[in-house]
């Protein structure tokens, strides 16, 4: 093993020049596509007609964020060789597994801007607010984690402080995203992901060979840096603590994350499948490769600076790269975190524009200039809030798993609402709330889960295994195979999970959320007499700022109202927000 090298930093002038080059370039791109009279719908979804290259690059860049890089490296450092595999592989497969749902969502609501907007058309206000609220929380946590990553990077690789770093990153991202919104985000994503992937192909092999090449693995084992589980490619510890919780978390990310939904509504409908497949390959390869830096750090016996595992990637870069490649690594990470931070800002603005302002005044009463103003103010407020939270310097991997598990409460009710006409607003709302109530005490161990209570949690978690596998199967194979796969998985897993899963609280909490939301939503819906007409969603959702006058409606308002009333009729949930389409149009 080579001797530990001197840690390299970039000078203040070099960092300033790199940041001016990066954010100046993205600002130039944003200005080039800006419009004097910005269209509100274009600001949120770019007109829903983005081509393959831009959409695939944007989807890939949105998933390959700095937090994914840092979390994958943390997984490699914590769990060894299989850590990045569990992080990157399952994340990639979840992108692939959700594309069938994406096609259904787009078919039902081709002109929507957010999933919460569709839930308003499907159920009513309470379901919309639950989904919108969870999306706001998730995007704010995501934005915070990206600022933390940026601050850690700048403070590690330059004389600037962590506080200065998060302010610089926040100002740079806000500057180029504020004017053109989502259109600026997807265009800059294309340039950023091309640069990120190119830089990763160069940087990772260089660090590997400079750090000692294949010999580092033998030396690391001989030096006692690696436990038996960390050296095992099929580590059960890595799967139970990292792989399995992340399967549940990223499935929820894919369904509950507005940054993904926004790209789903923006890409051309016939390009959804190739876009998701390309993002699957790009994400998996890049994130697993970058996570190997954490594995190298483990075998080399590297101690994270200041005891913070968020510092591992910049620490490895500063130790084993010269000035030119160090600058390249710096820009790679800045590009990764900026590509997702701008997506978070665009997502937050679209939620407030569509689900708060747009739905509160009604689609026909929206003032496009006011809507754009609301979106831009949202970006500014969100940036300030994320800056405040970033000062706490949370562990990024913990943040990602937590918000993903939290979104697990929503997965079954949301998916079922797009396929099953019997799902009511009450079933959706109580399913989500019950899952959240069950999730929190398990996740934070507020009570000891021993005896009968522990067995009850494990039984729910076992059902959750079947729910997750059933959902994943349903998109590709349909209802009957999904029910069979989910049922068999639950039965087969039961002998192994009882008196065992209670030791893995993160995994158990995630699975409990899936199970409870499924059980409550299903049993409150299966005897419902509601027979929702999904065609109504197309009539309720749509453009807020049409560039040309809308064509005369082929269905009269009275007939549309009657259809909505007939669809919701007999559900027995009239007082829970299952309003008619006429009332929802505002």
- In the CATH hierarchy, which top-level class contains the domain 49-405? mainly alpha
DSSP code at position 580: -
From CA 255, how far away is CA 257, in angstroms rounded?
A: 6
From CA 164, how far away is CA 517, in angstroms rounded?
A: 43
Task: State the pLDDT at residue 401.
Answer: 60
Closest CA to 541 of 354, 365, 278, 261: 354
Least trusted range by pLDDT, from 50-59, 236-245, 351-360: 236-245
490-524 core/surface letters (b: 16 or more CB in 10 A; e: else): beebeeebeeebbebbbbbbbbbbbbbbbbbbbeb
From CA 424, how far away is CA 531, in angstroms rounded?
A: 10
Task: State the pLDDT at residue 556.
Answer: 43
Look at residue 8 and tell me whether its pLDDT is greater than 80.
yes
How large is the average pLDDT for residues 176-186?
Answer: 84
Look at residue 207 and tell me whether its pLDDT is greater than 90.
yes
Tens of pLDDT, residue by residue over 78-134, are 998 888 888 888 878 878 877 888 889 989 998 888 888 999 999 988 888 888 888
The first and second tokens of residue 58, run together, are 């944007």
Least trusted range by pLDDT, from 35-39, 53-57, 496-500: 35-39
Least trusted range by pLDDT, from 38-52, 143-157, 369-383, 509-523: 38-52
Task: State the pLDDT at residue 384.
Answer: 93
DSSP result, 425-471:
HHHHHHHHHHHHHHHHHHHTT-S---HHHHHHHHHHHHHHHHHHHHH
Direct distance between the N- and C-terminal alpha carbons of the chain, in angstroms, rounded to an integer: 69
Helices 115-122 + 83-108 axis angle, to 10 = 50
- How many residues are listed for the chain in this entry? 586
Tens of pLDDT, residue by residue over 328-342, are 999 988 988 888 888
**DSSP alpha helix (H) spans, 123-267:** 125-157, 162-177, 182-210, 215-222, 236-238, 244-256, 258-266
535 contacts 429 by C-beta, under 8 angstroms? no
Task: State the pLDDT at residue 1.
Answer: 46
From CA 342, how far away is CA 336, in angstroms rounded?
A: 10
Domain ranges in the chain?
49-405
Q: 233-242, 316-325, 495-504, 562-571: which has the highest mean pLDDT?
A: 316-325
Contacts of 192 (CB under 8 A, 6+ apart): 26, 61, 335, 336, 338, 339
């Amino acid at each position: 093993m080579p001797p530990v090298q001197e840690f390299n930093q970039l000078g203040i002038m070099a960092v300033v020049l790199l940041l001016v080059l990066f954010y100046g370039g993205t600002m130039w791109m944003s200005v080039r596509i800006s419009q004097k009279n910005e269209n509100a719908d274009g600001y949120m979804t770019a007109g829903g007609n983005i081509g393959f290259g831009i959409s695939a690059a944007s989807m890939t860049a949105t998933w390959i964020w700095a937090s994914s890089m840092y979390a994958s490296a943390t997984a490699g450092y914590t769990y060894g060789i299989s850590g990045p595999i569990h992080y990157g592989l399952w994340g990639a497969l979840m992108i692939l597994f959700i594309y069938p749902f994406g096609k259904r969502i787009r078919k039902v609501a081709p002109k929507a801007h957010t999933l919460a907007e569709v839930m308003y058309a499907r159920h009513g206000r309470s379901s919309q607010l639950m989904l919108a609220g969870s999306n706001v929380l998730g995007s704010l946590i995501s934005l915070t984690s990206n600022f933390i990553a940026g601050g850690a990077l700048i403070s590690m690789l330059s004389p600037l402080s962590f506080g200065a770093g998060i302010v610089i990153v926040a100002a740079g991202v806000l500057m180029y995203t504020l004017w053109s919104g989502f259109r600026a985000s997807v265009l800059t994503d294309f340039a950023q992901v091309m640069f990120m992937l190119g830089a990763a192909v160069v940087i990772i092999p260089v660090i590997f060979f400079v750090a000692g090449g294949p010999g580092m693995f033998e030396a690391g084992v001989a030096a006692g840096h690696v436990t038996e589980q960390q050296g095992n490619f099929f580590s059960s510890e890595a799967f139970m603590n990292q792989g399995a919780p992340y399967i549940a978390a990223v499935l929820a990310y894919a369904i509950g994350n507005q940054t993904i939904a926004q790209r789903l509504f923006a890409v051309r409908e016939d390009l959804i499948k190739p876009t998701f497949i390309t993002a699957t390959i790009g994400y998996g390869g890049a994130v697993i490769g970058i996570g190997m830096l954490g594995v190298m750090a483990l075998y080399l016996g590297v101690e994270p600076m200041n005891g913070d595992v968020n510092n591992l990637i910049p620490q490895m870069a500063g130790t084993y790269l010269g000035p030119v490649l160090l600058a390249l690594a710096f820009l790679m990470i800045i590009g990764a975190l900026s590509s997702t931070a701008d997506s978070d800002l665009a997502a937050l603005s679209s939620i407030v524009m569509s689900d708060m302002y747009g739905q509160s005044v009604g689609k026909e009463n929206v003032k496009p200039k006011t809507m754009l103003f609301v979106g831009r103010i949202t970006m500014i407020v969100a940036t300030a809030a994320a800056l405040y939270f970033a000062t706490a310097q949370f562990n990024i991997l913990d943040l990602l798993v937590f918000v993903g598990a939290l979104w697990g409460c929503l997965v079954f009710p949301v998916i079922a609402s797009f396929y099953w006409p019997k799902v009511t607003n009450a079933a959706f709302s109580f399913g989500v709330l019950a899952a959240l109530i069950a999730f929190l005490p398990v996740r934070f161990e507020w009570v000891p889960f021993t005896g009968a209570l522990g067995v009850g949690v494990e039984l729910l978690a076992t059902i959750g295994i079947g729910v997750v596998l059933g959902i994943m199967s349903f998109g590709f194979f349909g209802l009957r195979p999904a029910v069979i796969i989910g049922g068999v998985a639950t039965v087969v897993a039961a002998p192994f999970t009882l008196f065992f899963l209670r030791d893995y609280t993160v995994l158990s909490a995630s699975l409990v959320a899936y199970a409870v939301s499924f059980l409550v939503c299903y049993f409150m819906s299966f005897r419902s007499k509601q027979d929702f007409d999904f065609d109504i969603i197309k009539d309720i959702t749509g453009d807020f700022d049409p560039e040309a006058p809308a064509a005369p409606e082929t269905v009269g308002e009275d007939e549309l109202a009657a259809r909505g009333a007939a669809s919701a009729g007999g559900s027995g949930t009239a007082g829970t927000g299952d309003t008619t389409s006429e009332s929802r149009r505002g």
